[in-house]
Structure 1
């Protein structure tokens, strides 16, 4: 097997369309690196690890929320959209981080959370103080309750984190929150709400931010004309653009305004939508006149299965072509069980809609990780899936720690958990803390190198994490980190075009495709080896000692473009 090329960045890094084929590394700031040793990751911690990020050959980092927050939902309850949480640093720290990343040709994407604010936001506090019927309350969604004394909520809707979607305030009115009670929904019919977010987009763009990830982009606008439907009636309403609360056509009026702001800059600022919508409506968010790109989560929801992977890729490339955008590929993020763990668990029964019944591994998490988990097999399949994904046209989103092959952390005591899902479902849904545990940088120390002090990390690191530390993997050519570094460096050289060509393999459990420059990707989803026909393997997820001429079971190999044979 030939050696991999040295680390490099994509030649498209300085173009206006850098995002089309970018590798974006998601950082959950509170769990990435702790520069001041207080147990909580911070902005200076990100800056301290820029050398590490540079060696990954990524094109951009995406920062999950770092704004002032009471952390009712891991920072997605924002108290001030134009500042940095004092526990994470200052605006000056943010500016230093941006300039340091830019000096390495790494772009910066930040999370925008427009559906709701924190209940500590100045506007919401003003709304509470002003009382019913006030202009301050019009920025949010307040309603009178039902019943003779208004003691019943306006509807029986259930919030995404469990429990009622309405909370009553002392003067008797109720406010809507699709997530936690600490996250009141904005009223996007209000012109001040719209104008304030335009100000926020300009604020961060002026500080050098290159793009934005839009949280629950499909939920902003709502039609709450009386009478409001019940939760059962709401579930039956088609999501075709006219649903009362989800994926309404009028949300794109907002994004047209945002696009005008993005285009004020040179190069234009980018955006990607987190929009859980019907596949036929994804192109609406990815159009150039709207946000320009939209996540697809279909690979994240798929089993490690050749048929499912091929269907997902074919469908999403077609959707990208329809919108004129490029596709996005993701296997893990801050909201789901890490993919090596998903692939190491027994396959779940599938629902009628094709999605796995336990796609987030909740049964395994509820057991505290005591049910069977094939750790080695899960990582083997995870690495194979990663090389498959990185060979696809479009942008790839990586989640911090996946380059270490980290598994989900199940062993978190209830008293240490933070996710509101756990508390609002009384533990029925364990939540997302297990993928947000701070990273292990060293094999020893109070926080495995996450912090430079003696403070315990804000979420506990299990003992097994020490073996996965960066310092150990950096010196191991067979480690997952070494695989990611080689793969990302080669991808930066070879990635080209928006197309792929499926090639016949003679087996249903083996996928093979070719990119326009001749780069080939072959993934063996089975437990039996797959022979090649004399091609030289440039990279294998099975490790640097994998044999030429064969694709090992549950692995992916890359075959170099003809012009790079022997690279």
Structure 2
């Protein structure tokens, strides 16, 4: 039973994370994957003109900023995360003038623009890497990357035992200009993505210029890809653990020599200082997939990053005990360094949460791995839990990230034909790993239009499901019970009641599968059980599904917001 005048459960409250001005501290950031958002020229690939044309819809949703995944020139061997020129736009996405129009459209609607930056590695087509391959061992050009002699009598073995995230060795051997087998270069991902050497002054100066280029074009910040990998341990020692650096028996993640080295923080202190020279409102957000949360919090200490993605929350299962633990740890760890926590349920690298939460056996899905068609799944349960998860997340203090299409309730697309898949996880594994294509399918805008309004021609770089009409934005805009309506209402209420800059006090419940907390004027109750629970409250502000609160009871797998009484805690 949740009382109308709830009592704290005795745990220490989490104070507001807002200790100084900064729009990012309670922002709602919407991730756009450009290839799949909106296609302005009808060639089947999303582009910058398409993004500019749809910006009003994002403003209507109520987001504060848009984060654009890479749109730079690239051979597209890894969805644009293999960059061949950091200061231009790939023709498939448009031109620099088109980018300027995106910034103008966003700012006109009061939406800020964050761009993805990929500093750990570039494309093997990048001019700096081509120059390195053409240069001699020991040259300045090769010093921009990690070139090493191989092991063995003839250098025939890689310099160490590191493995690529995409499978196979993290080293590839080059052929020297005289045709002889040469040195090896490091690539934590695909062989077409050589890692920069961040101990090199030229590399640091190069990225200073890249930052300045985009800041001069009006961007409001950078999401930094694989931020934790830039600096490697001296000597590049062997590592028998997981390629992603996560802990495994005998190999604790904090010992991984390719991740979270002390020198990486020096890089981002330098970047923070550079951004502040352009003004106080330009931000850095780290994709730093490190654990535990106390390590992640180091990235957002004063004078470093402004935000860091909360991977612990992203991977949390639909379980009250686990969720509460992650929320407590997040607010304590990030708050301990004066930073806000971030909250995220989906992105371009993970199976969409409307599908994850519908897995019958509740199995964990590894980052990037995806799931196959035929996996035991309850789609209705997944959709219901996804709506509840959104209502819970948007009530938390801190910043929220929304991945394109989750506001429509999109599930993962599981039945993409093998010959249509593009993800290097799938290609390099010979199909044994499904990969991330299922969360990257172009999103639906109009139910009866070609390609569901993605463009006017019906072309689509990944096939869209035949029965996606019910998810289209125009259908949901007209339905006050839709997932889109839920997100729009939740974000508006979150902003009007300042929940993002609020605090959190846990409330006593009689059921261990029920979470309840007060944030400002709002009592949030999340029923993660399989049965209704009694709710002794009156004014309902939000329900994750229609009639979630009925006859004084909250339905299972549902979340509701109530007006908290003045003596709530």
TM-score, normalisation: structure 2: 0.90
- Which residue does the alignment assign to 2:238? 229
Is residue 330–residue 396 contact of structure 1 (8 Å, CA) maintained in 2? yes
Greater shift after overlay, 259-268 or 41-50? 259-268
**Shift in Å, 1:466:** 2.2
Q: Please, which runs of 5 or more residues in structure 1 have no aligned partner?
A: 1-12, 350-355
RMSD between aligned residues: 2.1
Q: Does 1:204 align with 2:214?
A: yes
**Shift in Å, 1:231:** 3.3
- Which residue does the alignment assign to 1:352? none
Q: Does 1:453 align with 2:418?
A: no
Is residue 422–residue 429 contact of structure 1 (8 Å, CA) maintained in 2? yes
- Which residue does the alignment assign to 1:365? 371
Is residue 213–residue 271 contact of structure 1 (8 Å, CA) maintained in 2? yes
Q: Does 1:316 align with 2:326?
A: no
- Which residue does the alignment assign to 1:143? 148
Q: Does 1:408 align with 2:422?
A: no
Describe the SS at the equivalent of 1:464: coil
**Shift in Å, 1:312:** 0.7
- Which residue does the alignment assign to 2:283? 270
Question: 1:35-74 alignment to 2 at 5 Å?
Answer: 35-74=40-79
Describe the SS at the equivalent of 2:308: coil
**Shift in Å, 1:187:** 0.5
Q: Deviations over 1:143-195 (max 9, x none)?
A: 11222222222123210111111111112211100000110000001101001
Equivalent residue for 1:213, pick from 220, 223, 236: 223
**Shift in Å, 1:494:** 1.1
Describe the SS at the equivalent of 1:310: helix
**Shift in Å, 1:543:** 2.1
Change (3 A) 1:179 1:161: same
**Shift in Å, 1:412:** 0.8
**Shift in Å, 1:534:** 3.5
Change (3 A) 1:482 1:137: same
- Which residue does the alignment assign to 2:15? none
**What CA distance in whole angstroms lies between the structure 2 residues aligned with 1:531 and 1:238?**
44
Q: Does 1:133 align with 2:142?
A: no
Equivalent residue for 1:475, pick from 464, 475, 478: 478
- Which residue does the alignment assign to 2:308? 294
**Shift in Å, 1:372:** 2.3
- Which residue does the alignment assign to 1:17? 22
**What CA distance in whole angstroms lies between the structure 1 residues aligned with 2:203 and 2:418?**
37
Greater shift after overlay, 533-542 or 441-450? 441-450
**What CA distance in whole angstroms lies between the structure 1 residues aligned with 2:239 and 2:29?**
40
Greater shift after overlay, 287-296 or 33-42? 287-296
Describe the SS at the equivalent of 1:447: helix
**Shift in Å, 1:498:** 4.4
**Shift in Å, 1:44:** 0.8
**What CA distance in whole angstroms lies between the structure 2 residues aligned with 1:131 and 1:348?**
53
**Shift in Å, 1:237:** 5.8
Q: Deviations over 1:444-478 (max 9, x none)?
A: 34411111224x21111011222211111111111
Is residue 72–residue 87 contact of structure 2 (8 Å, CA) maintained in 1? yes
Number of aligned residue pairs: give it: 537
**Shift in Å, 1:491:** 0.9
- Which residue does the alignment assign to 1:484? 487
